[in-house]
């Protein structure tokens, strides 16, 4: 696999849209990426958007934005939320998604946020170190089967310190329907 993983540039935005549009059943995620980009740029908030480039074509994309942890109505921490990620259908199952997750986690490690959360396939993300947050008494703000909400520490002890907390994604992710 000779795929290059690199930060998304403005010129890539239409290709990023297309990758997400093709990978998901509806354009929701493709449009979500644009909504998030606009909102986070305006706030100058944390943003990690990487693309996978194969022979000058964008074949995959992964996005990390900030999530807030709160306990008893009080914010107790900030972390990364991985959402969404996508690989063009014809390019799937060749390791592109894995390369995006690994490179993304490396970038997250360079930040001052102590963990990454993801809502996703329970068979996929544990291979990168994610584990269900139920073990740490951390839950997503919405009710989902416990195995689909996972986290990985970037700084040892972070998840344990957030026991009992609830994770809140950006409103563009959770308020949209
Ligand atoms: C999930 C996705 C990004 C993975 O990208 P990828 O390049 O195919 O991933 P890799 O090649 O690194 O890994 C392939 C592995 O992913 C897992 N996988 C892929 N899609 C999966 C799915 N829908 N459910 C569970 N596991 C899945 C499989 O275990 C597969 O391993 P296998 O080939 O041994 O069966 C890609 O399949 C995709 O774009 N899917 C549609 C969009 C999506 O569901 N995004 C994730 C939202 S959380």
Spatial separation of the C-alpha atoms in residues 172 and 79, rounded to whole Å? 16
Whether the ω angle into residue 84 lies within 30 degrees of 0, i.e. cis, is: yes
Confidence category of residue 175, pLDDT binned at 50, 70, 90: confident
Spatial separation of the C-alpha atoms in residues 76 and 30, rounded to whole Å? 31
Q: Is 74 in the pocket of ligand 1 (CB under 6 A)?
A: no
- Spans of all domains in the chain: 4-174
In CATH, which of 3.90.1560.10, 3.40.50.150, 2.40.110.10, 3.40.630.30 is domain 4-174? Answer: 3.40.630.30
- Can you tell me which atom of ligand 1 is nearest the CA of 84? 47
Q: Which residues contact 113 (CB under 8 A, 6 or more apart)?
A: 46, 66, 78, 79, 80, 154
Over the stretch 107-145, which tens digit does the pLDDT of each residue have? 999 999 999 999 999 999 999 999 999 999 999 999 999
1 pLDDT higher than 80: no
Mean pLDDT over the full length of the chain? 96
The mean pLDDT value for 7-35 works out to 98
The mean pLDDT value for 162-169 works out to 96
Distance in Å, CA 74 to ligand 1 centroid: 36
Q: Which of 1-5, 80-84, 115-119, 166-170 has the lowest mean pLDDT?
A: 1-5
Number of C-beta neighbours around residue 40 at 10 A: 18
């Amino acid at each position: 696999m000779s795929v290059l993983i690199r930060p998304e540039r403005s010129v890539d935005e239409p290709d990023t849209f297309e990758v997400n549009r093709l990978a998901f059943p509806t354009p929701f995620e493709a449009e979500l990426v644009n909504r998030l980009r606009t909102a986070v740029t305006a706030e100058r908030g944390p943003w990690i958007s990487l693309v996978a480039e194969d022979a000058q074509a964008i074949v995959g994309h992964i996005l990390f934005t900030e999530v807030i942890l709160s306990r008893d109505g009080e914010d107790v921490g900030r972390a990364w939320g991985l959402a969404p990620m996508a690989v063009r259908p014809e390019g799937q199952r060749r390791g592109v998604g894995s390369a995006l997750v690994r490179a993304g986690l490396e970038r997250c490690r360079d930040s001052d946020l102590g963990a990454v959360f993801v809502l996703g396939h329970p068979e996929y993300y544990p291979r990168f170190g994610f584990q269900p947050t139920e073990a740490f008494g951390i839950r997503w703000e919405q009710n989902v089967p416990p195995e689909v909400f996972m986290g990985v520490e970037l700084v040892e002890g972070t998840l344990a310190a957030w026991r009992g907390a609830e994770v809140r994604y950006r409103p563009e992710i959770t308020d949209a329907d």
